Chains A and B, each alone.
Chain A
Amino acid sequence: MAHQAHAYHMVDPSPWPLTGAVAALLMTSGLAIWMHFHTMTLMSLGLLLLLLTMYQWWRDIIREGTFQGHHTPPVQKGLRYGMILFITSEVFFFLGFFWAFYHSSLAPTPELGGCWPPTGITTLNPFEVPLLNTAVLLASGVTVTWAHHSIMEGQRKQAIQSLTLTILLGFYFTALQAMEYYEAPFTIADGVYGSTFFVATGFHGLHVIIGSTFLAVCLLRQAQYHFTSDHHFGFEAAAWYWHFVDVVWLFLYISIYWWGS
């Protein structure tokens, strides 16, 4: 009889770490090829492999945790540490772009006109769409908290409603930002103002899309009875990530949109 005498999860052999690494290689080299030789094949192949890897790896984790019972309390604790460490690494990622922004804007060079915003840049009004975006993300933080409490109290219908509302708010933010990007009177090629603005807000937008997708997966899982009132770490991880995305936006709004205008 094969019983383990410990509460930890000795994971079965899996090909997904390897396919993930290969995907990373193809995407990065593919990006370089696209930039210099104008063909997207390698990069697209890498992207496809990445999507397949993510789908299958996370599907396997859900099977191990939800259906096979491998996610005991110590295992869950490890997953919590993992998510916290990952989010911390993302905080440092954004810190870099804020550093770039403050470096350029606190001491604007003569080439820019010695001022910030630089000469010739028409900034966005922080009290129009950016303010709406702030309200949308703050509201989504309230709705995701409603969802969490609903799950903890075993309120299935409310959990589904509040989670759906959160995701819709996330989509609304993305749509508003896409419209702002199209209507902006400045571009990424407009010196260091354009670079810092679009790289910082662009990576933030990508994280909103990732966060919305994570929440959407949680919605599908909630609908399929995966979560119990005591054990729903996948949802908690998604909610932590979503709050992180909200906080990054607040810093972006204060620094780039408001102070930087």
Chain B
Amino acid sequence: MAAFGRFSQMLLRSSLTQTRRQLAAAAGHGGDSAKTWKILTFVIALPGVAVCMLNTFLKEKEHSHDAPPEFVPYTHLRIRTKRFPWGDGNKTLFHNSHVNALPDGYEGHDYTCLVWDGKDRRILFLILCP
């Protein structure tokens, strides 16, 4: 629905470019093209932004109560080959503790970790990880 707004805006822009050329040709040197673009601004461009703002606001409200994604200690994510040169060196620049887990889990959460013996393929023990 919101995508339709953007597509129609893009389509209209290309057909309006043709219209603008026609207007410019008709008026000789396009003496009042500023008016054309002013109309485009207030009739299409800014309302398009307003529609998208409304859409965003409604969608955000819809899932403002969602919990952050479950923490799984994947090795291909949360990479820390070198300390960051700020703070404790473990948090990214835009770190948000509500939605960004650290390598060993979300801050302030406790996890039950199982220690897995890959060679003999068995669980060695369960521990509580802060």
Size class of the B contact interface (CB-based, 8 Å):
35 or more
What are the residues of chain B within 8 A of A234 when measuring CB–CB?
none
A131 touches B2 (CB 8 A): yes
The 8 A CB mask of B4-32 against A (1 = contact, 0 = none) is 01100110010000000000000000111
B55 touches A131 (CB 8 A): yes
B48 touches A118 (CB 8 A): no
B34 touches A149 (CB 8 A): yes
Distance of B56 from chain A, by nearest CB (Å): 5
B37 touches A125 (CB 8 A): no
A209 to B117, CA, bound (A): 51
Contacts A153-B32, A185-B99 given; indicate if A120 touches B77 (C-beta within 8 A): yes
Contacts A138-B48, A146-B34, A189-B92 given; indicate if A120 touches B74 (C-beta within 8 A): yes
Distance of A108 from chain B, by nearest CB (Å): 10
A112 touches B76 (CB 8 A): yes
A162 to B44, CA, bound (A): 15
Q: Select A187's contact among B37, B55, B76, B92, beta carbons within 8 Å.
A: B92
A34 to B89, CA, bound (A): 13
Query: What's the dominant secondary structure at chain B's contact region?
Result: helix
Q: Is A199 an interface residue (CB 8 A)?
A: no
B45 touches A155 (CB 8 A): no
Q: Select A132's contact among B36, B40, B49, beta carbons within 8 Å.
A: B49
B56 touches A189 (CB 8 A): no
B56 touches A139 (CB 8 A): no
What are the residues of chain A within 8 A of B75 when measuring CB–CB?
111
What are the residues of chain B within 8 A of A181 when measuring CB–CB?
94
**Chain A residue with the shortest CB-CB distance to B86:** A38
B49 touches A158 (CB 8 A): no
Q: What's the count of A-B pairs with C-beta under 8 Å?
A: 131
A120 touches B72 (CB 8 A): yes
Distance of B94 from chain A, by nearest CB (Å): 4
A146 touches B38 (CB 8 A): yes
What are the residues of chain A within 8 A of B51 when measuring CB–CB?
135
Query: What's the dominant secondary structure at chain A's contact region?
Result: helix
The 8 A CB mask of A143-182 against B (1 = contact, 0 = none) is 1011001101101001000100100010000000000011
A155 to B35, CA, bound (A): 10
**Chain A residue with the shortest CB-CB distance to B91:** A187
B69 touches A185 (CB 8 A): yes
B94 touches A129 (CB 8 A): no
What are the residues of chain A within 8 A of B118 when measuring CB–CB?
none
A129 to B53, CA, bound (A): 8
Q: Is B127 an interface residue (CB 8 A)?
A: no
What are the residues of chain B within 8 A of A158 when measuring CB–CB?
34, 38
B60 touches A128 (CB 8 A): yes
**Chain B residue with the shortest CB-CB distance to A39:** B85
A170 to B116, CA, bound (A): 51
What are the residues of chain A within 8 A of B68 when measuring CB–CB?
185
A191 touches B77 (CB 8 A): yes
B41 touches A162 (CB 8 A): yes
B60 touches A131 (CB 8 A): no
B94 touches A131 (CB 8 A): no
Question: Could you show 10 A-B contacts with beta carbons less than 8 Å apart?
Answer: A125-B59, A131-B3, A138-B9, A142-B41, A143-B41, A146-B40, A153-B34, A189-B78, A189-B80, A191-B76
A contacts, CB < 8 Å to B = 34-35, 38, 111-113, 118-122, 125, 127-129, 131-132, 134-136, 138-139, 142-143, 145-146, 149-150, 152-153, 155, 158, 162, 165, 169, 181-191, 194
